[in-house]
Structure 1
Amino acid sequence: MMSLELKEKGNHLFKAGDYDGAEKLFSQAIQKNSKEPSFFTNRAVTRLRLEKWAGAEDDSRVAIDLYGPKNAASLKSSLYLAQALLNLQRPQEAYDVAIDAYKASLAVKNPQTENLSRTVLRAKQKMWAARETARLREMNETLASVEHFIEADLNRGLTELYAKLDRGEVGHIGFVEDRKALQEEAAKNVHNVREAFRIASKGDIQERVVPDYLIDGITFEIMHDPVVTPSGHSFDRVAILNHLQQSDVDPITRIPMTGESIRPNYSLKAACEEFLDKNGWAVDW
Structure 2
Amino acid sequence: MLSKKRNKLFYLFTFPWIIGFLLLTAGPMVYSLYLSFTNSSGFGTPEFVGLDNYKQMFSDDPLFWKSLGNTIFYTLLSVPLSLVTGYLLAVLLNTKVKFMGVFRTIFYLPSIVPTVATSLLWMLIFQPNFGIANAILDFFNLPTSMWLLSEQMVKPTLIIMSLWGVGGGMVIYLAGLQEVPTSLYEAAEIDGASSWHKFWNITVPITSPVIFFQLIMGLIGSLQVFTQAYVVSGGSGGPNYQSMFFVFYLYQQGFQFFNQGYGSALAWMLFILVLILTAFVFKFIGKQVYYESGD
Bigger relative CO (Cα 8 Å, ≥ 6 apart)? 2
TM-score clears 0.5: no
**TM-score, normalised on structure 1?**
0.30
User: Considering only CA atoms, is the larger Rg found in Structure 1 or Structure 2?
Assistant: 2
